Chains A and B, each alone.
Chain A
Amino acid sequence: MQIDLNEFIWAIINFLVLLALLYKFLWNPILNTLDKRREEISSNLSSAESMKQQAEEMLEEYKRKIAEAKSEAQDIINQANRAAEETRNTMMSQAHEEAARITEKAREEIRREKEQAMKEVRDEIATLAVMAAGKVLEKSMTKEDHEKLVRDFLSEVGEIQ
């Protein structure tokens, strides 16, 4: 068994030539296509994964926001209730105060009116009394007596005042 050097060399040349030809026409196009598809699928998968994650995050955020809004609405309602209560209380106490003030004022008025009336009555009575007394005394008193009496009365009145 011996090696035919011609065949040996041809085999090497042929293989290298075929390698080059198939590389250009078979392996390169097919492997590139497979690589591209592989890359695309893996990038699609990862982008789908990230989108899913994003969607989940958004869902989470919206849930949180809805809960926030709910609690905020509750806060606002509570606050409004409290404000209404407060306003009611203030108005009630103001009304009470006002009523008390008006009552007091009315009482004061009444008292003053009564005093005035009393005073007027008293003056009237005094005048009438003096006039009555005058009428009675007119007949029995001299002019001097009359003057004296008036002076005394005046001084008395002055003392009273």
Chain B
Amino acid sequence: MGHESGYLFHIFGLGVTSKITTMWAIMLLLTVLSILATRNMEKIPKARGVQNSLEMVVELLLNFFSDIIGYEQARRFLPFLGTMFIFILVSNYSGLLPGAGHIPGLAAPTSTWSVTLGLAATVFVATQVYGVKALGFRYLKKFLQPAFMLPLNIVEQFVRPLSLSLRLFGNIFGEEMVIAVLLGLVPYFAPIPVMILSLLFGFIQAIVFTLLSSIYFHEAIEESH
């Protein structure tokens, strides 16, 4: 990663890299789009309106998660899972913009392990919080079933964010490397097939990350058998 991890500037003593500024740009974009789409919510939206399209996307996500963890839980976790999905998806795609990784301030946030681990960490914390909130002391007791599995159960909890973040980072980083190498070998058009594939992979990785997160949440709040 070398030169890319150079800080552009510092805020509150925290170094800001190109990946972080790209994240901010994505956040700004998503927030502005959301505000525009939900500015005038109507009970019966126009057929071709922004609200209707957005409702379709939300319902698509809701149905997708409902199939895995049931409607009640999907409805409850959708803000978290949906935000994660959209964030990762747009982050992945930001790496396909021309000049990404070369222009200062523009680089796919998900192409570094630090960022994907940060995202996975929120999933890890959220899983524990949801579990304790739903089951209280019984959530902790689940780790003792059976008792000798306790170390393994705890290790599993910590392995999850590692696997989540490594899978996402590895895929996106790999794609970018392939594109960069191809671009170095044959300029202009050679990376186009790989970039089209990257659209697919970026989508799949966003789905996989949030899908696994939803299963972790589901598992955390279910009573032990």
Contact = CB atoms under 8 A, between A and B. Distances in A.
Contacts of B55: 30, 33-34
Interface in A21-38: 21-23, 25-31, 33-37
B95 interface: no
A25 B119 CA distance: 21
Given A6-B14, A6-B17, A23 B38 contact: no
A11 to B, nearest CB: 3
B24 A7 contact: no
Describe A's contact surface by its main secondary structure: helix
A87 B68 CA distance: 86
A58 interface: no
A157 interface: no
B14 A15 contact: no
A130 interface: no
Contacts of A21: 27, 30-31, 34
B200 interface: no
A3 B118 CA distance: 10
A14 B122 contact: no
Given A9-B118, A29-B41, A18 B20 contact: no
Contacts of B115: 7-8, 10-11
Given A4-B17, A7-B114, A22 B83 contact: yes
A117 B23 CA distance: 150
B204 interface: no
A17 interface: yes
Contacts, number: 124
B80 A19 contact: yes
Contacts of B135: none
A133 interface: no
Contact of B83 (A9, A15, A34): A15
A59 interface: no
Interface string B117-135: 1110110000000000000
B112 interface: yes
B203 interface: no
Interface of A: 1, 3-12, 14-19, 21-23, 25-31, 33-37
6 contacts: A3-B113, A5-B114, A11-B20, A26-B54, A34-B58, A35-B75
